[in-house]
Copies of this chain bind each other. A is one copy, B any other.
Amino acid sequence: MACSKPKENDEEPILNEAKKFFSPLPDTFQSQDNPITKQKVELGKMLFFERRLSVNNMVSCATCHAIEYYYSSPAPKQMGALELQPRNAQTVLNAAEQFVQHWIGNRKDVEDQAFKSLTGRAAFGNPSEEEVVNKLKKIPQYVELFKKAFPNERDPLTAENIAKAIGAFERVLITPSRFDKFLKGDKKALTEQEKKGLKTFIEVGCVVCHNGVLVGGNTYQKFGIFEPYWKYTKSDSIDEGRYVVTKKDEDKYVFKVPSLRNVVMTPPYFHDGSVESLEQAIWIMGKVQLGKDLTKEQINDIINFLKTLTGEIPEEAIKPPILPP
């Protein structure tokens, strides 16, 4: 009946469908515990690139999360100050919005992640918080910047405030893309091909885990529901995921569902960076998560959709800061 059919110019079924699962990115990822201020973000940006946060001055946050790789790294696992990181470095673009941080959710939020990195052996490897705090206190420019970023504090240069500043910077690392335009109602923001991809992404079941603002990043899931993941990823060693943290059997091989924002720009894939190609990664996801052997066409469709999630890095975050000598 003509009356029940929506007029073509007013509604688009796939847009309405998409709105059920996804939401556009906000302007900032707010935090009640760490209000975002310009001074904190500026200081946080410097600290994000500051190798002197590490015990041997060798690594900064930006070592694993490099601008040129969309704030990630092309290495399966990247060296920290003293040893290899245990898992693949995910992009920190949009990461602040995740429900937990790290692949196994052992960090509450970006501030907790930054704080624990200071002394973590695989991250910055400092023997204590005091050590790194004292190192920064010898650089007069930092003493001033902490005063400005944390006014009314008697001793603003602390490990907690290092973490808060870095957290504040990460909370503005937001990359709106064409998909956000689409979600906000601009039907022409995606091509017909990309809309077909979005449809496939929903229909085959990817959307069950990859949904919300980040197209993922909001739940845990077992990696390998239908078959063990390592059968396909050919992983060198078997990572037991959240089980490492909780020691509960039901958490074996459970990982945070990664956000797919900018996924095209951030190979290699999976928690151990074991797979280089996106085609391969999607095919494996079909096999082990959905019990489906996705066709080349379906995979291609999905890639067309995923390309619409590549966003613009904020102007200020495209350029590293020049740091005090």
Distance, CA A242 to CA B322, complexed state (A):
33
**Could you tell me the distance in whole angstroms from the C-beta of A267 to the nearest C-beta in chain B?**
6
Known contacts A51-B74, A57-B75, A74-B52; A69 and B323 CB within 8 A of each other: yes
Known contacts A265-B325, A318-B319; A79 and B67 CB within 8 A of each other: no
A225 at the interface (CB under 8 A from B): no
**Residue pair B57, A74 in contact (C-beta under 8 Å):** yes
Contact pick for A58, options B75, B264, B323, B325, CB 8 Å: B75
A305 at the interface (CB under 8 A from B): no
Q: Which residue of B lies closest to A63 (CB)?
A: B63
A56 at the interface (CB under 8 A from B): yes
Distance, CA A74 to CA B264, complexed state (A):
33
Known contacts A73-B51, A75-B58; A67 and B264 CB within 8 A of each other: no
Q: Which residues of B contact A51 (CB under 8 A)?
A: 66, 69, 73-75
* Contact indicator per residue, chain A 1-25, by CB within 8 Å of chain B (1) or not (0): 0000000000000000000000000
Known contacts A58-B75, A58-B79, A75-B57; A68 and B266 CB within 8 A of each other: no
* Contact indicator per residue, chain A 56-94, by CB within 8 Å of chain B (1) or not (0): 111000110011111001111011000000000000000
* Main SS class of interface, A: loop
**Residue pair B325, A68 in contact (C-beta under 8 Å):** no
Known contacts A52-B74, A75-B58, A79-B79; A68 and B322 CB within 8 A of each other: yes
**Residue pair B56, A68 in contact (C-beta under 8 Å):** no
Q: Which residues of B contact A205 (CB under 8 A)?
A: none
A320 at the interface (CB under 8 A from B): yes
Q: Which residues of B contact A68 (CB under 8 A)?
A: 49-50, 62, 320-323
Distance, CA A322 to CA B79, complexed state (A):
21
Contact pick for A322, options B70, B320, B321, B325, CB 8 Å: B70
* Contact indicator per residue, chain A 308-325, by CB within 8 Å of chain B (1) or not (0): 000001000011111101
* Contact indicator per residue, chain A 283-325, by CB within 8 Å of chain B (1) or not (0): 0000000000000000000000000000001000011111101
Distance, CA A266 to CA B318, complexed state (A):
23
Q: Which residues of B contact A318 (CB under 8 A)?
A: 319
- 13 pairs, A vs B, C-beta closer than 8 Å: A49-B66, A58-B75, A58-B78, A63-B63, A67-B320, A68-B320, A68-B323, A70-B322, A70-B325, A265-B322, A265-B325, A313-B322, A318-B319
In the complex, besides A49-B66, A51-B75, A58-B75, 16 extra interface pairs with C-beta distance below 8 angstroms are A51-B66, A51-B69, A51-B74, A52-B74, A56-B75, A57-B74, A57-B75, A58-B73, A58-B78, A68-B320, A68-B321, A70-B325, A264-B325, A265-B325, A319-B319, A320-B320
